[in-house]
Chains A and B, each alone.
Chain A
Amino acid sequence: MTPEGIFITGLGIISPLGKGRLSTVSSLKNSFCGIHNVNVFTVAPDQLMPVADVSIPFEVEPGVPRTHALALAAARDAMEGKNCIPDAVIMGVTTGGMPKSEVLLKSKVRIPQEYTYHGAGTIATYLAEHFSCQGPALTISTACSSGTAAIIIARELIRHGKAEKVLVGGADALCLFTYFGFFSLQLMDARGARPLDKDRAGMSLGEGAAVLFIEKSQSPPPGSIAQILGGGISCDAYHPTAPHPAGDGAVKAMRGAIADAGISVGDIEYVNLHGTATQDNDASEAIAIRTLFGDRFPALSSTKGMTGHSLGASGAVECALCSLSVSEGIIPGTIGCTNLDTKLGIPAVLHPENHPVRIALSNSFGFGGNNASVVIGSADLRPPERPLMHVRSLNVIGLACLTGAGGADASFQKFSQGDSLSGTLSDEEISRDLPQRQIRRLKRLPRMALALANAARKDAGDKFHPSSIFFGTGWGPLSETYDFLTKLFGSDMRFFSPTDFINSVHNAPAGQVAMEFKAMGTNLTATGGDYSFEQALLMASLLASEKEELMLFGADEMHPELSPLFDPSVPGERIPSDGGGALMAVATTSPSGPAITPVVYRMAAKDSGWAIMNDLKVTDFHKHYAAIFAGIPSAYEKMAGDQLTDFLSSSKFNGPVIHYRKYTGQYATSSAVAAALAVKIIQQGFLPAGLTHADEVSLGEKGILVMGFGPYCTAVDIRN
């Protein structure tokens, strides 16, 4: 029997090279360079750096940020001619709604509704709503590898039988935040990016979006452009921004992708390099390429001298270019490179060539040491033999949480008595067990991350070593974001902190945790408002290998200025709160001991109760579950409350329902705290009287279902 492949049957791209396949291919053939003076915003003459913007007109719905509009433009093209609804939407994004938010923040606009589209996760949900997708809308924010990681997760979702058709891609738009961030890092070339050139002096910032419609099939469906053969993710666990000098992480990601594709290194005919044109990236990537290919190099080129570096979008854009490479038989040139740096020791295709390509590899490496590589093959190749995989459960071997009440023990004690865990710990309390040198340039969220991960690992015992890190955060490092922008706007764009910039990316906290544990495996940061922890859990259950030791955690910080603007559940809160939860776990298909499994992730619908029951696949709900932990975000109190009522009626459950946000306070990753507390309750075997407001309830064999309601409905099964 022919194995099932995952085919790209729709491809939308909007980049400095144009919109759509035809104009993109034409730009590739003509070596079109999209890098020129910035005109999306104004900067002082002595700060002028060329960028690559999308200069062709595209529709922008009023009130919607540029990033969302770019994503929709690409997604519309990917969906053209499709008479079906995608089962899931997965996007790689870093800036999210920042192009709009930064303008509002600069003008001191304090109306929360104006920031509705701020969250990086809102691009996926915007597309999901547009195309009526009822399934998961997930967002990966691992800086410059986001788009590539999104494609890998989409493929795993299909391979695990959780979806058949997925809309997947990446989007990012130019904004002051990233422009001045990279300016402060002195990483932009005043002459425009010259990848692999001996005089290269940095990158050029770009923007754009690429969205693929992918579907599984035993033979190429009509209109197939290419297929996704394999993917690999790794983490350098070396430095917040600099790549590993020997490219160890890059080699690991490329090897992983090639092995996953079931091919050998010699089968790769073209590599679209990450090739940012910074000294360090190109040098370490060249070493990685030499390590992998020896002296038998495939065609190599970097397209960032044409497109600029579109950060979260770049991986998706370059996978799209690789797809066009195999479907059109074109190898793009390394535009901007006139004198190939011979010290790199690799050849490069400098001018575009018409040449058949059957298998291409696309590389993306980002801040936080996040690496991802994808193998793209022509549609007529025999797909790799990979059996259908099972979603894994995570056996919890250690846990931690941070709440206004303190760590796990203090929080559990108060929770058991039915007391509140709301409030915020001071930065000093959070980081009291962390060495000062390690945290000297870290603000609130990365400190929370390190404290949580260290405590969960300590709880598990020293013999466990997490190799993969999965992190969920609704809003990312807000202190760094706020401080960077405040300094920028307060100095009339003259002064801004590079430290704040590098620590502002959503994946910075997970990068710190990876460095702490030297965890070189998968490293993913998921973001999607109130469901961020659930997204991280879902990704862990899809990507972790059998028996792999991993750290799963979620955290959000309360920032007095930004939290009330971004998180709609915060403004009504009497006691501002924040915190998170961490689980040190072993991934397995045969769970024993307290285990956590994602079971529901779907968009809210009229009949949510029935739909959730359908996803749960249990008939006698009360025989499976002793209690429900219900997450009702106050911003959606009516909607979420109705969903819960509907679910209780569908499931006929009349046991204890614990509204955990009443204890934790309102913040996006309060569900991570709820999950950690639920594990504790499972371990002790009974629900304390303080929680039931009646008698103790023995759990027996039953589990706890941690549910989330609102625009999305989620459920996480926790049981022995």
Chain B
Amino acid sequence: MQEAPVDKLPVDKLIDELKRKVLDILNIQDIGLSDIDTNSPLVGSNLGIDSIDILELVTVIEHDYGVKIDNKELGEKVFASFASLAQYIADNRTLI
């Protein structure tokens, strides 16, 4: 198994960071960090978000982490959960 490079954040910390970002970017005010399930799909969860919100997150993720998610198939895989999103970013990020 390959060791994660030392300059990368642990995935757990990234998951929290992403949850915070999602609530902030999508202006979701009625649920807290602890209400978000790390392993549920983003669309269809209690976040109440849809495909447009996912596209909004795509631009933010590219801006903040240098990670492109530029097609629907990849998007469906990556946004399957906060865990998968964080893992994908951790594996592909070019910006710290």
A184, B59: Cβ atoms closer than 8 Å: yes
A239 CB-CB contact with B under 8 Å: yes
- Which chain B residue shows the least CB distance to A240? B52
A499 neighbours in B (Cβ, 8 Å):
52-53, 55-56
Instruction: Specify which of A240, A436, A494 is in contact with B29 (CB 8 Å cutoff).
Output: A436
Complex contacts, B72 vs chain A, CB 8 Å = 186, 279
Residue of B nearest to A241 (CB): B52
The answer for the CA separation of A499 and B52 in the assembled complex, in Å, is 6
Task: Report A413-453 CB contacts with B as 1/0, cut-off 8 Å.
Answer: 00000000000000000000000110011000000000000
> A186-B72, A494-B62 given. 15 additional CB < 8 A pairs?
A184-B59, A279-B72, A437-B28, A437-B30, A437-B48, A440-B26, A440-B27, A441-B26, A441-B52, A441-B56, A495-B63, A496-B59, A499-B53, A499-B56, A502-B52
Cα–Cα, bound, A442→B30 (Å): 16
Instruction: Decide yes or no: A186 and B59 within 8 Å by CB, A242-B51, A441-B27 being known contacts.
Output: no
Across-interface contacts of B62 in A (CB, < 8 A):
494-495
Query: 13 A-B contacts, Cβ less than 8 Å apart?
Result: A186-B58, A186-B75, A240-B52, A436-B30, A440-B26, A440-B29, A441-B26, A441-B27, A495-B59, A497-B56, A497-B59, A499-B52, A502-B52
User: Which residues of B approach A to under 8 Å, CB–CB?
Assistant: 26-30, 48, 50-53, 55-56, 58-59, 62-63, 70-72, 75
The answer to the question of A688 belonging to the interface, with a C-beta cut-off of 8 Å to chain B, is no
Q: What's the nearest-Cβ distance from chain A to residue B86, in Å?
A: 21
Residues of B within 8 Å of A497, CB to CB, are 56, 59
Q: Which residues of A contact B75 (CB under 8 A)?
A: 186
**A-B pairs with beta carbons under 8 A, tally:** 47
Interface residues on A, range: 20 to 34
A327 to chain B, nearest CB (A): 41
Please indicate the chain A residues that have their CB under 8 angstroms from the CB of B26 in the complex.
Answer: 440-441
Task: Determine the chain B residues whose CB is within 8 A of the CB of A239 once the complex forms.
Answer: 50
Contact B71 A498 (CB under 8 A): no
Residues of A within 8 A of B29 (CB): 436, 440
**How far, in Å, is A435 (CB) from chain B's closest CB?**
9
Question: CA–CA, A436 to B28, complex, Å?
Answer: 8
B30 and A184 contact, CB distance less than 8 A: no
When distances are taken between beta carbons in the complex, the residues of chain B under 8 Å from A60 are: none
Cβ–Cβ contact A440 & B28, under 8 A: yes
Query: Per-position contact with B for A266-288: 1 when CB-CB < 8 Å, else 0?
Result: 00000000000001000000000
> Cα distance A241–B29 when bound, in Å?
24
Q: In angstroms, how far is the closest chain A Cβ from the Cβ of B91?
A: 20
| B55 and A441 contacting across the interface, CB-CB below 8 Å | no
A185 interface contact, C-beta 8 A: yes
The docked-state distance in angstroms from the alpha carbon of A498 to that of B50 is 12
Task: Give the Cβ gap from B49 to chain A, nearest Cβ, in Å.
Answer: 9
- Listed from nearest, the 9 A-B pairs whose CB atoms lie closest are A440-B27, A498-B55, A499-B56, A495-B63, A436-B29, A495-B59, A498-B56, A437-B48, A499-B52
B20 shortest CB reach to chain A, Å: 16
Q: A436 CA to B27 CA in the complex, in Å?
A: 9
Question: What residues of A have a CB within 8 angstroms of the CB of B50 in the complex?
Answer: 239
Q: Specify the chain B residue showing the minimal Cβ separation from A436.
A: B29
Kindly provide the distance from the CB of A432 to the nearest chain B CB, expressed in whole angstroms.
Answer: 14
With A239-B50, A240-B52, A241-B52 already in contact, the answer to whether A498 and B59 are too (CB < 8 A) is yes
Q: Which residue of A lies closest to B71 (CB)?
A: A186
Bound-complex Cα distance A498 to B51 (A): 10
Evaluate contact between A498 and B52: CB separation under 8 angstroms: yes
Chain A residues whose CB sits within 8 angstroms of the CB of B28 once the complex forms: 437, 440
Which residues on the A side are within 8 Å of B56 (C-beta)?
A: 441, 497-499
Contacts of A242 in B (CB 8 A): 51
- Contact residues in A for B70 (Cβ distance below 8 Å): 186
